[in-house]
Amino acid sequence: MGGYSAAFRAAQLGLRVALVEQGKLGGTCLHVGCVPTKAMIESSDFFARVRHGEEFGLRGVEGATLDFEAVAQRRQSIVDRHTKGLHGLVKKNKVEFVAGRGVLQGATTVKVALNGADGTPGAGGERVITAKDVILATGSRVKSLPGLVPDGRRIITSDDAVTSSHVPSSLIVVGAGAVGVEFASLYHDLGTKVTLLEYLPTVVPLEDAEVAQVVQRSFQRRGIDVMTNARFDPAAVQVTADDVCVTVGPEGGAASEIRAEQMLVATGRASNVEGLGLETTKAVVERGVVVVDGNMRTAEPHLYAIGDAIGRLLLAHVAAHEGITAVETITGGDARPVDYDLMPRATYCRPQVASIGRTEAELKRDGVEYKVGKFPFLANSKATITGEHEGFVKVLADASSDEVLGVHMVGPHVTDLIAEASAAMLLEATAWEVGASVHPHPTLSEAVGEAALAVAGHAINA
């Protein structure tokens, strides 16, 4: 997403642009990431709601079943539609799409091993492209634990899951970050027996501590087995013809054997920085990522890097913002350094998680005096109407200026609600200003306004 966003903005600003891509246009997000995953989650969420249809006056839903092949077909049709749309935008913006693998030969020269007519890598000969400026947007790949090798059958990754038409009867998910909790949630809703293992003390460990507690309690209440502080030897995982077996236990506690049809490894991603020809430039690679400044400039003049390759926030919308910042810098436009405190984060498990800005733990660590406003979805009319009222909205504001410093949400559709907080923080709004803006009733958005009012103790409905 970062690469094509940068290409389109550069073309809009009058630059002549070549977009080099070895794989499919759209990259990880469109083909094996955000889009197919959320398509599956939409189906699993809908199925979960149907099974509780009697609460809404529906009859005859007890025998509802799921056709996962149809889910997979819908998933692919969505990907295909957006792929076609991107090719249309390439033409609309007069961007030259070059299918092949590019390697730097110095800062501003790229040698491309062209794909063949049938898409075979390297079968189409070579082409050398020179430009005044080059932006690297090479993305990332799934990674596993040392000694734990995915085979695509028993031990799988998210890439395998979003291209499969099979629902396992049981599943061990290793890693309870955003990817892990999304797949744990969706597979449970599809009827899979799920065990979720996390090495750290909490699920979604990068989120607000209270948010993590809500997610873990919700998962356990639904029947997902959650083990935090989980310890096991990755190299000792046993794979048989029928299942996968791991001996695992909490840190300092007794270990037990867990068997499942599959194990899904969700332990992060590795930036694609190898084999790019970076050694022919002054660009610096540290700890597996390309080093850049706030405007995406590497140490090599005219060479920029964005997205997962720089290892900041590995999120598609962040990569797109970084790409636009790089282009604005190249063209001399209004290129403000990227402020990662203004980048919203969204996780699509059930209940959903969304956040922006700093957490309470970070504010305490840095000695920042702050105030807290919190509002539960249980007190929100629209949440009770929809039957989804777990969670809350939390607003953190500076104790003296009242400026919003962070917003943390867990609950229904919060991945949509976080956009208001994003706009508020960009505009340096105060909590009072967010609360004073009128939120229509009955809507979930009222929870945001109420939480903001609660900073000063003025929430109306709590």
Residue 34 lies in a domain: yes
- Statement: residue 462 has pLDDT above 90: no
The residue range of the domain holding 74 is 2-142+270-340
Question: What span, in angstroms and rounded, lies between the C-alpha atoms of 98 and 95?
Answer: 9
Same structural domain, 138 and 274: yes
Question: What span, in angstroms and rounded, lies between the C-alpha atoms of 6 and 135?
Answer: 8
Does the CA dihedral 356-361-366-368 come out positive or negative?
positive
Mean pLDDT score, 108-128: 95
Residue 450 lies in a domain: yes
Domain end position, chosen among 223, 238, 267: 267
- Statement: residue 293 has pLDDT above 90: yes
Helix axes 68-92, 34-51, angle to 10 degrees: 140
Give the model's pLDDT for residue 63.
83
Same structural domain, 289 and 247: no
Same structural domain, 357 and 447: yes
User: Per residue in 391-439, pLDDT tens?
Assistant: 999 999 999 999 999 999 999 999 999 999 999 999 999 999 999 999 9
Give the model's pLDDT for residue 189.
97
pLDDT category, 233, cuts 50, 70, 90? very high
Same structural domain, 127 and 238: no
Question: What span, in angstroms and rounded, lies between the C-alpha atoms of 390 and 404?
Answer: 24
Same structural domain, 311 and 240: no
User: Per residue in 132-173, pLDDT tens?
Assistant: 999 999 999 999 999 999 999 999 999 999 999 999 999 999
Same structural domain, 19 and 133: yes
User: Per residue in 17-70, pLDDT tens?
Assistant: 999 999 999 999 999 999 999 999 999 999 999 988 999 999 988 888 999 999
Domain end position, chosen among 290, 313, 340: 340
Quick one: three-class SS letters along the chain?
A: CHHHHHHHHHHHCCCCCEEEECCCCCHHHHHHCHHHHHHHHHHHHHHHHHHCHHHHCCCCCCCCCCCHHHHHHHHHHHHHHHHHHHHHHHHHCCCEEEEEEEEECCCCEEEEEECCCCCCCCCCCEEEEECCCEEECCCEEECCCCCCCCCCCCEECHHHHCCCCCCCCEEEEECCCHHHHHHHHHHHHCCCEEEEECCCCCCCCCCCHHHHHHHHHHHHHHCCEEECCEECCHHHCEECCCCEEEEEEECCCCCEEEEECEEEECCCEEECCCCCCHHHCCCCEECCEECCCCCCECCCCCEEECHHHHCCCCCHHHHHHHHHHHHHHHHCCCCCCCCHHHCCEEECCCCEEEEEECCHHHHHHCCCCEEEEEEEHHHCHHHHHHCCCCCEEEEEEECCCCEEEEEEEEECCHHHHHHHHHHHHHCCCEHHHHHHCCCCCCCCCHHHHHHHHHCCCCCCCC
| 287 φ, ψ (degrees, to nearest 5) | 55, 35
Q: How many domains does the chain have?
A: 3
Residue 226 lies in a domain: yes
Give the model's pLDDT for residue 373.
98
- The predicted model scores a pTM of 0.95
User: Per residue in 309-347, pLDDT tens?
Assistant: 999 999 999 999 999 999 999 999 888 999 999 999 999
Residue 147 lies in a domain: no
Q: What is the CATH number of the domain that holds 300?
A: 3.50.50.60
Same structural domain, 263 and 284: no
Residue 6 lies in a domain: yes
User: Per residue in 63-112, pLDDT tens?
Assistant: 889 999 999 999 999 999 999 999 999 999 999 999 999 999 999 999 99
Domain end position, chosen among 267, 284, 315: 267
Q: Looking at the chain, how many residues does it have? A: 462
Same structural domain, 230 and 86: no
Same structural domain, 9 and 109: yes
Give the model's pLDDT for residue 113.
97
Same structural domain, 127 and 232: no
Give the model's pLDDT for residue 262.
98
- Statement: residue 256 has pLDDT above 90: yes
Q: Which residues are catalytic?
A: 441
Give the model's pLDDT for residue 301.
97
Residue 345 lies in a domain: no
- Statement: residue 209 has pLDDT above 90: yes
Same structural domain, 327 and 374: no
Residue 462 lies in a domain: no
Percent pLDDT > 70 in the chain is 100
